[in-house]
């Protein structure tokens, strides 16, 4: 079994060729817009008019949709059920006995789901088009401590590494005769033989990564060299500053509208 260490999908696309800091700034811009834009339809429009076209440009649209729906769907179900039925003093639109769906709760859930969709989509798009090693190198070259850059990259790699490790443990336990299908009680009995090795292997992985950091002299002072050369076009710095000023301007507009009512 080959373990995927990240969500990265290699493609020969203009988005993949961008500098990692440019893509990181773009992901931050998408996240900020998803949190600052008012109303539900603005966030859905942002996802449909910016995130999806960028994914198409990077030739990772299908991978993006496959990666985000398992994350967004549980949030969508829980938000609509909780906010729809438990919204206080709302306008009922449908009901079963004493329980009713509230219009205001559904509107709030729709807005929250749009923000979650944009935030998750922007982060996954960044992870699909950015190699972790080039990201860590670019952050280190910018002056960020190597240990902190490693923490950021390890966070990005956490989900795919855990998923791959869990799949390997599940296959190994099934090969030993563990029944993981059938009635609910039988599945609960199989949970401990799956969770315990996953936790232990995760702790071992943390120790191994700490040894790797020491072996690569992350904490050693002085300039470090790398075999990887990261190219950057001259216009990318201007684009990054435009994205930063765009976020500042959007935050200022949101604050002004809130203060003026």
| 59-94 pLDDT tens trace | 999 999 998 988 888 888 988 888 888 888 777 777
Task: Provide CB contacts within 8 A for 50, sequence distance 6+.
Answer: 30
Task: Provide CB contacts within 8 A for 219, sequence distance 6+.
Answer: 146, 147, 213
Residues 134-175: pLDDT tens digits?
888 787 777 777 667 777 777 776 767 777 777 787 778 778
Q: What is the pLDDT of residue 38?
A: 82
Coil, strand or helix: which one is 252? helix
Asked if 46 and 37 touch (Cβ cutoff 8 Å), the reply is yes
Asked if 50 and 5 touch (Cβ cutoff 8 Å), the reply is no
Per-domain boundaries in the chain: 21-130, 143-218
Share of the chain above pLDDT 90, in %: 29
Q: What is the pLDDT of residue 5?
A: 58
**pTM of the full structure:** 0.77
Q: What is the pLDDT of residue 1?
A: 35
Residue 228, number of CB atoms within 10 A of its CB: 10
Q: Which residues of the chain are under the pLDDT cut of 70?
A: 1-5, 95-98, 146-147, 157, 159, 180, 182-184, 186-187, 190, 213, 216-227, 261
Q: DSSP string spanning 80-144?
A: HHHHHHH-TT--EEEEETTEEEEHHHHHHHHHHHHHHHHHHHHHHHHHHHS-HHHHHHHHHHTT-
Q: What is the pLDDT of residue 217?
A: 66
* Euclidean distance between CA atoms 246 and 251, whole angstroms: 9
Asked if 84 and 109 touch (Cβ cutoff 8 Å), the reply is yes
Asked if 14 and 57 touch (Cβ cutoff 8 Å), the reply is yes
Q: What is the pLDDT of residue 121?
A: 93
């Amino acid at each position: 079994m080959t373990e995927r260490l990240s969500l990265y999908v290699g493609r020969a696309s203009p988005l993949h060729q961008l500098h990692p800091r440019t893509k990181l700034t773009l992901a931050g811009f998408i996240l900020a817009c998803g949190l600052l834009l008012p109303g539900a339809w603005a966030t859905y429009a942002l996802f449909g008019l910016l995130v999806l076209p960028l994914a198409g440009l990077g030739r990772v649209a299908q991978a993006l949709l496959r990666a985000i729906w398992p994350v967004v769907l549980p949030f969508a179900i829980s938000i609509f059920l909780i906010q729809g039925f438990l919204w206080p003093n709302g306008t009922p639109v449908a009901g079963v006995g004493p329980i009713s769906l509230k219009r205001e709760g559904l509107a709030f859930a729709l807005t929250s789901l749009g923000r979650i969709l944009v935030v998750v989509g922007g982060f996954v798009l960044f992870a699909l088009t950015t190699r972790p090693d080039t990201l860590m190198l670019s952050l280190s070259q910018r002056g960020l401590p190597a240990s902190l850059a490693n923490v950021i990259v390890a966070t990005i790699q956490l989900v795919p590494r855990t998923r791959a490790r869990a799949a390997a443990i599940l296959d190994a336990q099934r090969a030993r005769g563990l029944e993981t299908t059938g009635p609910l009680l039988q599945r609960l009995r199989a949970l401990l033989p799956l969770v315990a090795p996953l936790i232990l292997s995760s702790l071992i992985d943390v120790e191994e990564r700490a040894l790797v950091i020491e072996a690569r002299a992350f904490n050693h002072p002085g300039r470090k060299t790398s075999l990887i050369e990261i190219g950057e076009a001259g216009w990318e710095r201007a684009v990054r500053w435009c994205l930063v000023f765009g976020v500042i301007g959007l935050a200022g507009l949101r604050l002004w509208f809130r203060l003026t009512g």
